[in-house]
């Protein structure tokens, strides 16, 4: 991997960013200088180190894991389990507490169908917030409908954060689970996870945290957060698609029944009975996404070399710059004044799809739609928003392109 230089970048006088910004564009072969990619909240572009690690894993290193006795299979098994240990270190957990899944969606479904089915019954309550992604709503709705549980919804503050005091007040002795986003995928608002964890645990409830938007842009420590479950997807963390992470506290994971059956998750199989292996392999039936895990570990190694604190400061500076530029144009911005790498906005009455199409004509890629958060859209009183999200390779020039594109939208629609 090449060196990661820093480059000074003048910003708007009204913004007070970090004095030096990351200069990482050359590390991303999928992001040419002529393209402003501002859709990292949907999926991150991949640094060259990750692409090369995936190519090696599918090429000269490739073999299956946990089965072969030949040397290359043993090396690949070691690489796969090293990847698990790498991810565990990154989030301040033990490797035995980390299950590889296809993504955060599968991780939440796993918890709902395994732990949830075993611990939530008629009359029990599940507490969510109004800003959750569909992946943190639908699995709980399905479970509640199946077992007769009740879903409660915590409100938001006026500026679009989870109203933590109101959420805590919603926790009752019947609440078995609280499940919230660490960072909103629409508003960029950040939850105080440790505060919510303390309240949930005081009432005997468990806490699940959707960390998809947090993992790429802030330091994580499972002990400090004190949550029971934490999930995130690799492809938002500069890694490949099809790989994600479920962290669960060791005692909880050990008590959870399997949720899929097949090879690798068993000890003995008889037609009359089956015995299952210990976690985490108990929850990894079949041949795993070997190369995905290795690619995710390469992405984490790249992030650690750059420095997660440097990425967080870089994104904060550029988000502040984008906010200042858009506000100067009279654009409506949704969410709190300090958001983590994500800005949802509306340009007058112009439909977000039209905004995104015109921006794309100018070489700017953003997301437009309900962002898999329809309840939040109804709360905001809009069918959809335009959303720009920054990443480690975003530059001030990208933000300038965004502002120029929005000006063009205004000219076209009057």
Domains observed in the chain:
6-45+308-413 (3.90.1150.10), 52-304 (3.40.640.10)
- Average pLDDT estimate for 398-406: 98
If you ran DSSP here, which 8-state letter would residue 179 be given?
E
Average pLDDT, the chain: 95
How much of the chain exceeds pLDDT 70, in percent?
95
**pTM of this prediction?**
0.94
Check 86, 212, 227, 372 and give the catalytic one: 372
Cα 162-164-166 angle, rounded to 5 deg: 100
pLDDT for the residue numbered 67: 84
- Average pLDDT estimate for 152-168: 97
pLDDT for the residue numbered 414: 84
pLDDT for the residue numbered 6: 37
- With the C-alpha atoms ordered 79, 84, 87, 91, is the resulting torsion angle positive or negative? negative
pLDDT digits (tens, 9 = 90+) for 218-264: 999 999 999 999 999 999 999 999 999 999 999 999 999 999 999 99
- Average pLDDT estimate for 174-190: 98
- Average pLDDT estimate for 38-43: 98
pLDDT for the residue numbered 68: 84
pLDDT at 3 over 80: no
Tell me how far apart the alpha carbons of residues 261 and 97 are, in angstroms, rounded to a whole number. Answer: 20
pLDDT for the residue numbered 8: 35
| Residue linked to tokens 């991997």 | 1
Tell me how far apart the alpha carbons of residues 47 and 212 are, in angstroms, rounded to a whole number. Answer: 18
Q: Is 170 annotated in the active site? A: no
pLDDT for the residue numbered 26: 96
- Average pLDDT estimate for 257-285: 96
pLDDT digits (tens, 9 = 90+) for 82-128: 999 999 999 999 999 999 999 999 999 999 999 999 999 999 999 99
Which distant-in-sequence residues (6+ apart) come within 8 Å of 308 by Cβ? 217, 218, 219
Residue 344 β-bridge partners:
334, 387
| Residue linked to tokens 């004095």 | 19
pLDDT digits (tens, 9 = 90+) for 346-369: 999 999 999 999 999 999 999 999
């Amino acid at each position: 991997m090449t060196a990661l230089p820093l480059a000074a970048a003048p910003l708007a006088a009204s913004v007070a960013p970090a004095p030096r910004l990351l200069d990482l564009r050359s590390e991303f072969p999928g992001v040419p200088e002529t393209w402003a990619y501002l859709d990292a909240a949907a999926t991150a572009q991949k640094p060259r180190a990750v692409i090369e690690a995936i190519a090696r894993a599918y090429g000269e290193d490739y073999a299956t894991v946990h089965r072969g006795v030949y040397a290359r299979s043993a090396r690949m098994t070691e690489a796969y389990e090293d990847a698990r240990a790498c991810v565990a270190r990154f989030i301040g957990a033990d490797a035995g507490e980390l299950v590889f899944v296809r993504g955060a969606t599968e991780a939440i479904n796993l918890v709902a169908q395994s732990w949830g089915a075993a611990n939530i019954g008629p009359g029990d309550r599940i507490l969510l917030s109004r800003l959750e992604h569909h992946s943190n709503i639908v699995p709980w709705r399905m479970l509640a409908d199946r077992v007769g549980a009740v879903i409660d919804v915590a409100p938001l503050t006026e500026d679009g954060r989870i109203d933590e005091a109101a959420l805590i007040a919603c926790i009752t002795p019947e609440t078995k689970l609280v499940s919230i986003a660490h960072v909103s995928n629409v508003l960029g608002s950040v939850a105080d996870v440790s505060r919510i964890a303390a309240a949930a645990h005081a009432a005997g409830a468990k806490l699940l945290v959707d960390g998809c938007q947090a993992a790429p842009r802030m330091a994580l420590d499972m002990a400090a957060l004190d949550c029971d479950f934490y999930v995130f997807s690799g492809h938002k963390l500069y890694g490949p698609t099809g790989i994600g992470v479920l962290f669960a506290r060791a005692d909880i994971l050990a008590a959870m029944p399997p949720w899929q059956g097949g090879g690798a998750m068993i000890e003995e199989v008889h037609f009359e009975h089956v015995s299952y292996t210990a976690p985490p392999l108990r929850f990894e039936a079949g041949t795993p996404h070997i190369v995905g895990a290795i690619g995710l570990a390469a992405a984490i190694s790249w992030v650690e070399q750059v420095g997660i604190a440097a990425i967080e400061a870089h994104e904060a500076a550029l988000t502040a710059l984008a906010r200042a530029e858009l506000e100067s144009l009279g654009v409506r911005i949704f969410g709190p004044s300090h958001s983590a790498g994500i800005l949802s906005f509306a340009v007058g009455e112009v439909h977000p799809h039209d905004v995104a199409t015109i921006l794309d004509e100018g070489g700017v890629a953003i997301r437009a739609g309900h962002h898999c958060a329809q309840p939040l859209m109804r709360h905001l009183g809009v069918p959809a928003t335009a959303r720009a999200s920054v990443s480690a390779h975003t530059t001030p020039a990208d933000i300038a392109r965004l502002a120029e594109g929005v000006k063009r939208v205004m000219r076209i629609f009057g």
